[in-house]
Amino acid sequence: MWKFKNPIKHPILETRWPTAELAARSRLFSPVGIGKLEARSRTWVPAMVPWRATEDGFVTQQNLAWYKRFAEGRPGVLVVEATGVRDIPSGPLLRIGDDRFIPGLRKLVDVVREASDGQTLLFIQIIDFLAVKRRPEKAKYFQRFLVVDDHHRRALAEVTEHTDWVTESDAEVREYLQNADDEIVEFVLRARELEALRFGYRERVTDTHLEHIRGLPAELPGIFAAAAERAREAGFHGVELHYAHAYTMAGFLSAQNDRTDGYGGSREHRVRLPLEVYREVRKRVGDDYVVGVRFLADEVITRGSRVEDAIYYAKEFAAAGFDFLSLSKGGKFEDAQEPKVGQAVYPYTGQSGYECMPTVLSDATGPFGRSVPLVAAIKKAVNDAGFAPPIVATGGISTFEQAEEILQLGQADIVGMARQALADPDWFVKVKVGRGNEVRRCTYTNYCEALDQAHRPVTCKLWDRLDLDEEGIATVDDGRRRLEPPPWVG
Ligand SMILES: Cc1cc2nc3c(=O)[nH]c(=O)nc-3n(C[C@H](O)[C@H](O)[C@H](O)COP(=O)(O)O)c2cc1C
Ligand code: SF4
């Protein structure tokens, strides 16, 4: 995990919880229009991947139990985890790339409707991602993956001062490099080859020498639109297009996107495909369906998009007709740490990852609501331009006082809580009925994120060892962790 040089350990915020009367009069528990719908409160559980789908992307009993548990807390909006729009194997992540996924997703919708008594709007986040391979063994990389060419031969001749290398066979070059010192390997391999060796091979939207990457602008609008249609068919109230973090659409928005085919370079060109995807989705689901977007207020990487880019995108998205804008921050591959051999690079291990899911080991600003100023700037620009889609702020928000202040100051229209909702999905109902002092407070130390990184079922350290010997508790790790928070006996 990335750390500040001299981190300051922040205690979780002390707070006073509202009475039920105060909560009833608050902005947080007031309704908000989202497209043609209305959320009953301005509370929002953003997408969180729990690693509970089947290997081939179907909804499991564990998925149903997970979302039921969140629905019991009755947030205004619950967003289902990033769900793949393609029909390709992607491990135990939900998929929506074919009609065969609809029945399972429909069940999920039914479970949430019932558990929230129809009080929670249910959206699904839909995502496309490019190939990311595990970090290979050194020998395997040199023997199987490296494509030897004259660049390597010439570089070897130069660095070793032996011109014979220019005519050596592929096998000789591979053998030599496999056993060479790091400095030689660094000199001989191209930057992307070195990355493939140390991080695992990873595609980018700028790899336009690859036909399928070149063809993304032609392919993605239809794929996203078909996925959105299935979401509608399954009964979700809306879709959230995932344009954030380390994935394909965020790659197009990134300031690092220098495609020269009209889909990269200037901001106008970088936002082109995200808008084309939106228009195709809108065309297929109709004007009455909620279509929102999650994107980055700042990429937090060198040569990445900054808040000025986000402001430009936000205005374009609002003008195009998106029904909500949900902001996140960071979460990129570009500054991620080297994974161990056999593991895949995880886009939340660098500084951008810190900013995405900030912990209490922080700088002087601390983790609590640290991206709110960016969200406020984006909201102001969108509103000043004459648009008013609700804007969702997330990141280190866990108390009523924090959430209410953000809303009262007009910094955002809706407040998202991911980890706090995982720590206690009943946060919303407890606070609403004046029993906020019973909230299980998130400690923001990211045990849950470490599980996500290891691709293991996500749980929270505050509750996953509780009452393990009680009957009927679903568990993992040979019974050592329960999968859902215990019920609140209110
Ligand atoms: C276990 C876990 C899984 C996550 N999965 C997603 C995801 O699928 N899509 C997404 O946009 N964000 C995802 N996030 C990021 C959260 O939605 C949220 O932006 C982040 O945790 C910061 O908010 P918080 O401080 O309220 O937790 C995930 C976060 C966690 C902890
Ligand atoms: S595991 Fe830690 S960071 Fe994650 S939700 Fe629980 S208390 Fe919060």
Of ligand 2's listed atoms, the one at least distance from the Cα of 423 is 5
The average pLDDT across 87-91 equals 89
Does residue 490 surpass a pLDDT of 80? no
Residue nearest to atom 6 of ligand 2 (CA): 460
For the residues 317-328, what does the mean pLDDT come to? 98
Q: Does residue 394's CB lie within 6 angstroms of at least one atom of ligand 1?
A: yes
Convert the pLDDT of each residue in 112-162 to its tens digit.
999 999 999 999 999 999 999 999 999 999 999 999 999 999 999 999 999
Our measurement of the distance from residue 360's CA atom to the centroid of its chain's CA atoms, rounded to an integer in Å, reads: 20
Q: Output the CA 442–ligand 2 centroid distance in Å.
A: 5
396: Cβ below 6 Å to ligand 1? yes
Q: What is the pLDDT of residue 413?
A: 98
Query: To the nearest whole percent, how much of the chain has pLDDT over 70?
Result: 100
pLDDT value of residue 209: 96
Give the residue among 61, 104, 56, 111 at the shortest CA–CA distance from 84: 56
Average pLDDT for the chain: 97
Cα–Cα distance measured from residue 310 to residue 222, given in angstroms and rounded to the nearest whole number: 25
Asked if residue 324 has pLDDT above 90, the reply is yes
**Proximal ligand: closest to the CA of 84:** 1
Candidate from 83, 332, 419 with most ligand 1 atoms within 8 A of CB, to mutate: 419
Of all protein residues, the one whose alpha carbon is nearest to atom 4 of ligand 1 is: 48
Question: Taking the model in full, what pTM does it have?
Answer: 0.97
Look up residue 101 and give its DSSP letter.
Answer: G
pLDDT class for 166, splitting at 50, 70, 90?
A: very high
Q: Is 331 left (phi over 0), alpha (psi -120 to 50) or beta?
A: left
**Residue 416 CA to ligand 1 centre (angstroms):** 10
pLDDT over 80 at 353, yes or no: yes
- Ligand 1 pocket test target in 44, 49, 453 with most atoms within 8 Å of CB: 49
pLDDT for 2 equals 87
- Cα 323 to Cα 410: distance, rounded to the nearest angstrom: 18
Query: In 325-436, where does DSSP find H-type helix?
Result: 351-356, 372-384, 400-408, 419-423, 427-432
Q: Whose CA is nearest to atom 8 of ligand 2?
A: 442
Q: Using CA positions, which residue lies closest to atom 1 of ligand 2? A: 460
- Give the pLDDT of residue 414: 98
Whose C-alpha lies nearest to ligand 1, atom 20?
357
Probe ligand 2: pick from 440, 442, 465, max atoms within 8 Å of CB? 442
Ligand nearest to the CA of 47: 1
Q: What is the rounded CA–CA span in Å between residue 298 and residue 352?
A: 9
Q: What is the pLDDT of residue 489?
A: 86
Question: For the segment 28-61, what is each residue's pLDDT rounded down to a tens digit?
Answer: 999 999 999 999 999 999 999 999 999 999 999 9
Q: Is 28 in the pocket of ligand 1 (CB under 6 A)?
A: no
* Percent of the chain with pLDDT strictly greater than 90: 98
447 Cα: distance to centroid of ligand 2 (angstroms)? 6
Closest ligand relative to 94 C-alpha: 1
Burial class (CB in 10 A: 0-12, 13-18, 19+), 456: middle
Statement: residue 233 has pLDDT above 90: yes
Q: Give residue 463 CA to ligand 2 midpoint distance, Å.
A: 9
Indicate the SS3 state at residue 57.
Answer: coil
What number is the average pLDDT over the span 352-376? 97
Nearest CA to ligand 1 atom 2: 48
3-state secondary structure of 284: helix
Q: Which ligand has the shortest distance to the CA of 417?
A: 1
**Protein residue with its CA nearest to atom 29 in ligand 1:** 48
CB of 370 closer than 6 A to ligand 1? no
Counting ligands in written order, the one closest to the CA of 485 is: 2
Q: Is the CB of 309 under 6 A from ligand 1?
A: no
For a mutational test of ligand 2's pocket, the pick from 448, 449, 453, 459, i.e. the residue with the most ligand atoms closer than 8 A to its C-beta, is 448
412-469 pLDDT per residue, tens:
999 999 999 999 999 999 999 999 999 999 999 999 999 999 999 999 999 999 999 9
* Cα 37 from Cα 232, distance rounded (Å): 14
Q: How confident is the model at residue 89 (pLDDT cuts 50, 70, 90)?
A: confident
Q: Which residue's CA lies nearest to atom 4 of ligand 2?
A: 448
Other beta carbons within 10 angstroms of residue 370's beta carbon come to 18
Mutate to test the pocket of ligand 2, among 348, 417, 419, 481 (most ligand atoms within 8 A of CB): 419
Please identify, by atom number, the ligand 2 atom nearest to the C-alpha of residue 419.
5
Q: Could you tell me the distance, in angstroms and rounded to a whole number, from the CA of residue 186 to the centre of ligand 1?
A: 35
* pLDDT score for 91: 86
Looking at residue 150, its pLDDT comes to 94
Report the pLDDT averaged over residues 221-236: 98
Q: Is the CB of 452 under 6 A from ligand 1?
A: yes
With CA atoms as reference, report the closest residue to 124 among 230, 223, 53: 230
Task: Decide: 97 and 222 in contact? Cβ < 8 Å.
Answer: no
Strands 43-45 and 475-476: unpaired
Cβ-based neighbour number of residue 20 at 10 Å: 14
Segment 312-338 mean pLDDT: 97
